[in-house]
């Protein structure tokens, strides 16, 4: 029995040792590579940080043994080589020999009009030759430079790219809808509205006379916004917004649905569209010396020379009222949080009134504003 245990222990030891040797052998088969910098122009990223971004994406592929950027910087400084401006093949072969690596990687990122021309070159140090090269023309969306780097690194190394993402950043033939760069502001909304004209007088009228008895024609607003974007290119997006809400909840409830067609650019927003409101509307007329006394018809006869109008009356049945909404706003961003602030104007000729409002909101983005790695 003891001999059996001893034999099993010895076999297990040699098996583990063999696995470790195979693992080390596989690790040792990786070719080494170093990246000094990239020739970057027109994308607001300097040469060395751009090289660091490429190094990060190369490391993710696990195809090479990537030399640490601090070791590269130390040895290049010691050799008197400017790593930030070393792009030629002969220069890189010399630098690669000093670093003792098998390969060097360099390239360029240039803006040409509405394009970003991205180039990568893989250089065989010992063979003194360019082993592989890749050139891709991207749509000018500098905020997506990291995604572009992933795509061109994969292309260089023969790794399959996601065709949807690739086409989204390469195609110039269609509008771009890009959830990675667009700002989505789905979320709760709350604020206050100020009524003028006939609506104002009705809100402040006594409750016994069908009003709400408010001291001022100001009411609350609570709702939720859903939006869908059909164009998103860089900082610009075009979208539809759907905002159901309840208004004046402290005194009476008015339901509304607002549909806005708008445009957003760098956080600024302009939109317009119809509003559909369910509220208690009745026909009647104003009388008195100053035409400030409301009389609901409710089947009563109308005196001569009195003008019949439609106005809010809490005693009346629920009716549909439509109006136009014009809104402008600005979104403030802090990390994962977005804070949209909007003001709007809604004329209602049917009710001889205008409504002005201030609407606030917030939402949590799926990803914060991306920072380019240094």
DSSP string, 138-200: EES-GGGHHHHHHHHHHHHHTPPPPHHHHHHHH--SS----TTTS----EEEEEEEEEEEHHH
- The residue from 129, 145, 170 where one domain ends is 170
What angle is formed at CA 371 by the lines to CA 370 and CA 374, rounded to 5 degrees? 150
Residue 158: its pLDDT value, please?
94
Q: Report which listed range, 116-125, 201-210, 286-295, is most confident.
A: 116-125
Residue 234: its pLDDT value, please?
63
Residue with the larger pLDDT of the pair 83 and 123: 123
Residues 314 and 287 occupy one common structural domain = yes
In a domain, 175, yes or no: no
Share of the chain above pLDDT 70, in %: 84
Residue 208: its pLDDT value, please?
87
Residue 145: its pLDDT value, please?
92
List, in sequence order, every beta strand (DSSP E) within the chain: 31-35, 39-41, 64-66, 103-112, 115-124, 129-139, 187-197, 218-233, 236-247, 254-265, 268-287, 293-296, 309-312, 318-334, 337-348, 353-361, 363-364
- The residue from 170, 201, 233 where one domain ends is 170
Q: What is the pTM of this model?
A: 0.54
Residue with the larger pLDDT of the pair 1 and 153: 153
Where residue 80 sits, what CATH number does that domain have?
A: 3.40.50.10610
- With bands split at pLDDT 50, 70 and 90, how would you rate the model's confidence at 298? confident
- With bands split at pLDDT 50, 70 and 90, how would you rate the model's confidence at 354? very high
Q: Specify the long-range contacts of residues 235-240, CB closer than 8 Å, at least 24 apart.
A: 235/265, 235/266, 236/263, 236/264, 236/265, 237/182, 237/183, 237/263, 237/264, 237/265, 238/262, 238/263, 238/264, 239/263, 239/264
Residue 188: its pLDDT value, please?
92
The span from the CA of 178 to the CA of 125, in Å, is 39
Q: Which domain holds residue 44?
A: 31-170
Residues 162 and 195 occupy one common structural domain = no
Structural domain tally of the chain? Answer: 2
- Whether the pLDDT of residue 203 is over 70: the answer is yes
Residues 209 and 246 occupy one common structural domain = yes
In a domain, 119, yes or no: yes
- Whether the pLDDT of residue 54 is over 90: the answer is yes
Residue 185: its pLDDT value, please?
80
- Whether the pLDDT of residue 148 is over 90: the answer is yes
* Average pLDDT over the chain, rounded to an integer: 84
* Helix/strand/coil (H/E/C) assignment for every residue in 284-326: EEEECCCCCEEEECCCCCCCCCCCCEEEECCCCCEEEEEEEEE
Where residue 328 sits, what CATH number does that domain have?
A: 2.40.160
Residue 28: its pLDDT value, please?
55
φ/ψ bin of 255: left (φ > 0), alpha (ψ from -120 to 50), beta (otherwise): beta
Share of the chain above pLDDT 90, in %: 47
Mean pLDDT of 328-349: 91
Residues 160 and 223 occupy one common structural domain = no
- Phi first, then psi, for residue 38 (nearest 5°) are -125, 145
In a domain, 253, yes or no: yes
- The residue from 123, 141, 170 where one domain ends is 170
Tokens 């607003």 belong to residue: 221
Residues 205 and 164 occupy one common structural domain = no
Residues 259 and 160 occupy one common structural domain = no
Residues 127 and 208 occupy one common structural domain = no
Residue 320: its pLDDT value, please?
86
The span from the CA of 118 to the CA of 140, in Å, is 11
Residue 372: its pLDDT value, please?
36
In a domain, 313, yes or no: yes
- With bands split at pLDDT 50, 70 and 90, how would you rate the model's confidence at 184? confident
């Amino acid at each position: 029995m003891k001999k059996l245990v001893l034999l099993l222990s010895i076999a297990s030891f040699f098996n583990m040792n063999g696995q470790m040797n195979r693992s080390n052998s596989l690790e040792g088969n990786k070719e080494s590579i170093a990246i000094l910098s990239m020739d970057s122009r027109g994308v607001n990223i300097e040469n060395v940080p751009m090289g660091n971004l490429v190094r990060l994406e190369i490391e993710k592929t696990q195809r090479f043994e990537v030399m640490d950027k601090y070791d590269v910087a130390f040895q290049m400084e010691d050799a008197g080589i400017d790593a930030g401006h070393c792009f030629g093949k002969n220069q890189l072969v010399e630098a690669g020999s000093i670093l003792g690596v098998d390969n060097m990687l360099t390239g360029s990122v240039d803006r040409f009009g509405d394009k970003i021309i991205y180039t990568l070159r893989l250089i065989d140090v010992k063979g003194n030759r360019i082993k592989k090269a890749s050139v891709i023309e991207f749509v000018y969306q500098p905020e997506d430079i990291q995604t572009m780097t992933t795509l061109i690194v994969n292309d260089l190394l023969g790794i399959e790219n996601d065709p949807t993402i690739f086409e989204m950043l390469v195609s110039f033939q269609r509008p771009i809808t890009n959830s990675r760069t667009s700002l989505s502001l789905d979320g709760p909304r709350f604020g206050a509205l100020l009524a003028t004209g006939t609506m104002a007088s009705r809100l402040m009228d006594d409750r016994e006379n069908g009003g709400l008895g408010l001291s001022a024609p100001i009411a609350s607003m609570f709702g939720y916004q859903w939006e869908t974007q059909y164009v998103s290119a860089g900082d610009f997006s075009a979208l539809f917004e759907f905002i159901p809400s309840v208004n004046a909840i402290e005194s009476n409830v008015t339901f509304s649905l607002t549909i806005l067609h708008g445009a957003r650019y760098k956080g600024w927003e302009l939109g317009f569209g119809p509003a559909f409101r369910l509220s208690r509307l009745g026909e009647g007329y104003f009388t008195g010396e100053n035409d400030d006394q409301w009389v609901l018809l409710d089947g009563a006869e109308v005196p001569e020379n009195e003008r019949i109008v439609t106005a809010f009356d809490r005693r009346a049945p629920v009716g549909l009222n439509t109006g136009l909404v014009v809104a402008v706003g600005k979104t403030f961003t802090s990390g994962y949080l977005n804070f949209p602030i909007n003001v709007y104007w809604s004329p209602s000729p049917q009710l001889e009134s205008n409504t002005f409002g201030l609407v606030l909101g917030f939402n949590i983005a799926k990803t914060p504003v991306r920072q380019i790695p240094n």
